[in-house]
């Protein structure tokens, strides 16, 4: 995925929602405002829930990338 | 001695159960039970025969058709009773797709029976287009209009439900009917969410519903095909009482369904007002009491008996099993509660949180006190579940 290099990368493959979103919420606190957390998740619910979390918690979803069959990659920037 | 697992709210002993899942099935109306018992004695014979027993059964069938037709806003002869709402949708929608091979336009939030019919149509070479919904779950009528106006589109059939039982959203049925009429596209309406509760809108060509949603017995669907609709049976036809619905009619169940509908429709407006006040209060109290919740569906154009919400950092399966342990029956659209482990297509189409989802749907008898107690239980369950999951 293009864009800024992540400050933290979280591999949540194999985990079911809400765990990836909980780990994202914890990780976003570990970076400074403007910092980027990259999340990898293969739970289909993450495709809906990571954008919804960003909207509810007012964080920036920089992009979502999914190649066939692989886990989705989400880049989230802390506000 | 309590055997409550550590960190979980304790279930009150001998507390009566509170069933809050009318959206899945309204409890059987007492009049349906009585009618069914009576009709087993009166309506068992073959309604096609000319003997007294047969004519008596036929009379019961005809009166059930009249009652249901009055609610649907069509003629008695338009009404069939397939063995479920799902079969009613399969047969009702497929029957509009047999001639001219039209393009099927459907909303992204249709019931799975509509989506499965569309998949089947596509697999057999048919074309389909989806129309999305807003964040509130209401069908994007402008997008439907654009889809209908497409110059390269050709003839179309539109499948848009009257309302959605997962989000509670009531769609803009008048505008949808007008858009379909202007484009000369038949409108198939899945009316399962509203029959017996809200007026069925005019303008459809084929409509479907399901008796157990209005307090009738399971095993009775409704398929209404308006006279003049370009509908033809997609499967094997029959030559019995109702050529559109093959097989020997279950007249006792059909009559019981009609009796329940008459009962539900009689005070539908007053009940809707009462339920709307109850759910309005529950929606605002959930939002005010429990942090990190998304109360979903429209604030105004919503089913009176449904409240749906999603809680951040909570597992939907844990939510419904813990509520059940405390005596409350509720539903969830979260992935972990579905057989496929896919989140609800309705929640995903709305772009709302799909985990931690719970849908509360009031029965005819649900009281304000029950909802007060439920809210306390829900608050406890959400709080303790978040603690156990280490939610931030």
| Mutation site, B167, B333, B353, B386, interface A, largest A CB count within 10 A | B353
User: How far is the CA of B158 from the CAs of B77, B97, B189, B274, in angstroms?
Assistant: 23, 10, 8, 33
Over the stretch B36-47, which tens digit does the pLDDT of each residue have? 999 999 999 999
Collapsing DSSP states into helix, strand and coil, what is residue B377?
Answer: helix
Q: Per-residue confidence at A67, pLDDT binned at 50, 70, 90?
A: confident
Q: Is the pLDDT of residue B100 over 90?
A: no
Strands (DSSP E) found in B192-239: 206-210, 221-225
Q: Are B187 and B225 in contact (CB under 8 A)?
A: no
CATH architecture for the domain at A8-77: 2-Layer Sandwich (3.30)
Q: Which residue in B has a C-alpha nearest to residue A50's C-alpha? A: B353
pTM: 0.95
Half-sphere exposure of B263 (CA within 13 A, CB side): 20
Q: Which CATH class is domain B268-389?
A: alpha beta
The answer to whether the CB atoms of A17 and B336 lie below 8 A apart is: yes
CATH of domain B30-266: 3.40.640.10
Q: Which residue has the higher pLDDT, B391 or B8?
A: B391
Handedness of CA B95, B96, B101, B105 (dihedral sign): negative
Q: Are B211 and B220 in contact (CB under 8 A)?
A: yes
Sheet architecture: strand order including B357-361:
B293-296, B306-311, B357-361
Collapsing DSSP states into helix, strand and coil, what is residue B321?
Answer: helix
Q: Are B370 and A52 in contact (CB under 8 A)?
A: no
- How do the residues of chain B divide into helix, strand and coil, expressed in percent and rounded to 5? 40, 15, 45
Enumerate the β-bridge partners of residue A73: A40, A65
Over the stretch B212-241, which tens digit does the pLDDT of each residue have? 999 999 999 999 999 999 999 998 888 888
End-to-end CA distance of chain A: 20
Beta-strand relationship, B103-107 and B328-329: unpaired
The answer to whether the CB atoms of A49 and B351 lie below 8 A apart is: no
The answer to whether the CB atoms of B335 and A22 lie below 8 A apart is: no
Over the stretch B104-153, which tens digit does the pLDDT of each residue have? 999 999 999 999 999 999 999 999 999 999 999 999 999 999 999 997 88
CA-CA distance, B231 to B243, in Å (whole number)? Answer: 12
Residue ranges of the domains in chain B? Answer: 30-266, 268-389
The answer to whether the CB atoms of A49 and B355 lie below 8 A apart is: yes
Please list, in sequence order, all residues whose beta carbon lies within 8 angstroms of the beta carbon of residue B270, skipping any fewer than 6 positions away. none
Nearest to B187 by CA among B226, B158, B164, B225: B158
Nearest to B320 by CA among B19, B91, B28, B7: B19
The stretch A6-21 carries a mean pLDDT of 94
Minimal C-alpha gap between A31 and chain B (Å): 15
The answer to whether the CB atoms of A22 and B392 lie below 8 A apart is: yes
Helix (H), strand (E) counts: chain A: 2, 4
User: How far is the CA of B316 from the CAs of A43, B7, B271, B319, in angstroms?
Assistant: 14, 18, 30, 5
Nearest CB to B392 within list A29, A45, A47: A29
Nearest CB to B335 within list A44, A53, A56: A44
The stretch B360-389 carries a mean pLDDT of 97
What's the complex ipTM? Answer: 0.94
Nearest CB to B353 within list A16, A29, A56: A56
Over the stretch B190-212, which tens digit does the pLDDT of each residue have? 999 999 999 999 999 999 999 99
Q: Is the pLDDT of residue B11 over 80?
A: no
User: How far is the CA of A42 from the CAs of A3, A14, A49, B280, B337, in angstroms?
Assistant: 21, 6, 12, 37, 18
Q: Is the pLDDT of residue B167 over 80?
A: yes
Residue ranges of the domains in chain A? Answer: 8-77
Q: In this predicted structure, what is the pLDDT of residue B1?
A: 40
CA-CA distance, B79 to B379, in Å (whole number)? Answer: 45
Catalytic residues of A: 17
Cβ neighbours of A44 in B, within 8 Å: 335, 341-343
Please list, in sequence order, all residues whose beta carbon lies within 8 angstroms of the beta carbon of residue B226, skipping any fewer than 6 positions away. B74, B78, B204, B205, B206
Q: In this predicted structure, what is the pLDDT of residue B238?
A: 86
Helix (H) or strand (E) holding A29: none
Minimal C-alpha gap between B345 and chain A (Å): 10
The percentage of residues in chain B with a pLDDT greater than 90, rounded to a whole number, is 88
**Residues of B within an 8 Å Cβ radius of A:** 292, 294, 310, 312-315, 334-336, 341-343, 347-348, 351-356, 389-392
Peptide bond into B341 cis (omega under 30): no
Handedness of CA A28, A33, A37, A43 (dihedral sign): positive
Q: Per-residue confidence at B392, pLDDT binned at 50, 70, 90?
A: confident
The answer to whether the CB atoms of B389 and A48 lie below 8 A apart is: no
Q: In this predicted structure, what is the pLDDT of residue B15?
A: 79
The percentage of residues in chain B with a pLDDT greater than 70, rounded to a whole number, is 97
The stretch B148-167 carries a mean pLDDT of 94
Q: Is the pLDDT of residue B3 over 70?
A: no
Q: Are B164 and B137 in contact (CB under 8 A)?
A: yes
Cβ neighbours of B389 in A, within 8 Å: 18-19, 22
Q: In this predicted structure, what is the pLDDT of residue A3?
A: 76
Q: Which residue in B has a C-alpha nearest to residue A49's C-alpha? A: B353
| Mutation site, A45, A50, A54, A58, interface B, largest B CB count within 10 A | A45
Q: Is the pLDDT of residue B98 over 90?
A: yes
Q: In this predicted structure, what is the pLDDT of residue B293?
A: 97
End-to-end CA distance of chain B: 33
Alpha helix (H) residue ranges in chain B: 30-42, 52-72, 85-94, 112-123, 141-149, 173-182, 251-266, 268-289, 316-325, 345-350, 368-389
Q: In this predicted structure, what is the pLDDT of residue B2?
A: 44
CA-CA distance, A56 to B10, in Å (whole number)? Answer: 31
The answer to whether the CB atoms of A22 and B341 lie below 8 A apart is: no
Over the stretch B340-366, which tens digit does the pLDDT of each residue have? 778 999 999 999 999 999 999 999 999
Minimal C-alpha gap between A9 and chain B (Å): 18
Q: Is the pLDDT of residue B12 over 90?
A: no
Q: Across chain B, what does the average pLDDT equal? A: 95
């Amino acid at each position: 995925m293009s864009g800024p290099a992540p400050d933290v990368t979280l591999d949540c493959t194999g985990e079911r929602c809400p765990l990836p979103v909980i780990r994202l919420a914890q990780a976003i606190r570990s970076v400074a405002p403007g910092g980027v957390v990259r999340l990898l998740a293969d739970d289909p619910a993450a495709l809906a829930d990571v954008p919804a979390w960003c909207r509810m918690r007012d964080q920036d979803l920089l992009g979502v990338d999914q190649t066939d069959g692989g886990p989705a990659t989400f880049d989230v920037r802390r506000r | 001695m309590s055997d409550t697992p550590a960190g979980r709210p304790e279930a009150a002993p001998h507390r009566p159960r509170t069933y809050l899942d009318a959206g899945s099935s309204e409890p059987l109306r007492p009049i349906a039970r009585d009618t069914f018992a009576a009709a087993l004695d009166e309506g068992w014979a073959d309604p096609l025969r000319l003997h007294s027993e047969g004519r008596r059964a036929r009379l019961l069938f005809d009166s059930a058709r009249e009652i249901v037709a009055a609610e649907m806003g069509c003629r008695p002869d338009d009404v069939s009773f397939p063995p479920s709402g799902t079969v009613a949708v399969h047969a009702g929608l497929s029957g509009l797709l047999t001639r001219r091979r039209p393009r099927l336009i459907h909303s992204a939030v249709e019931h799975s029976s509509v989506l499965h019919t569309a998949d089947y149509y596509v697999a057999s070479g048919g074309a389909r287009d989806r129309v999305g919904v807003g964040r509130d779950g209401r069908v994007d009528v402008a997008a439907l209009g654009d889809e209908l106006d497409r110059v390269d589109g050709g003839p179309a059939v539109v499948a848009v439900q009257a309302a959605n039982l997962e989000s509670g959203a009531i769609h803009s049925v008048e505008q949808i009917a007008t858009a379909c009429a202007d484009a000369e596209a038949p409108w198939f309406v899945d009316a399962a969410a509203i029959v017996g509760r809200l007026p069925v809108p005019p303008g459809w060509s084929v409509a479907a519903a399901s008796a157990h949603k209005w307090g009738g017995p399971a095993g009775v669907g409704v398929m209404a095909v308006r006279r003049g609709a370009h509908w033809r049976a997609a499967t094997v036809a029959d030559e019995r009482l109702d050529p559109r619905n093959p097989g020997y009619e279950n007249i006792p169940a059909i009559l019981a369904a009609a009796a329940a509908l008459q009962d539900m429709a009689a005070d539908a407006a007053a009940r809707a007002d009462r339920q709307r006040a109850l759910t309005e209060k529950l929606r605002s109290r959930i939002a005010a009491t429990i942090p990190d919740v998304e109360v979903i569906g429209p604030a105004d154009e919503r089913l009176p008996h449904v409240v749906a919400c999603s809680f951040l950092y909570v597992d939907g399966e844990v939510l419904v099993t813990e509520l059940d342990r405390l005596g409350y029956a509720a539903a969830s659209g979260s992935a972990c509660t579905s057989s496929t482990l896919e989140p609800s297509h309705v929640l995903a189409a709305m772009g709302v949180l799909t985990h931690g989802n719970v849908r509360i749907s009031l029965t005819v008898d649900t009281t304000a006190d029950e909802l007060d107690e439920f809210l306390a239980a829900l608050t406890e369950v959400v709080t303790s579940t978040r603690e156990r999951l280490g939610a931030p």
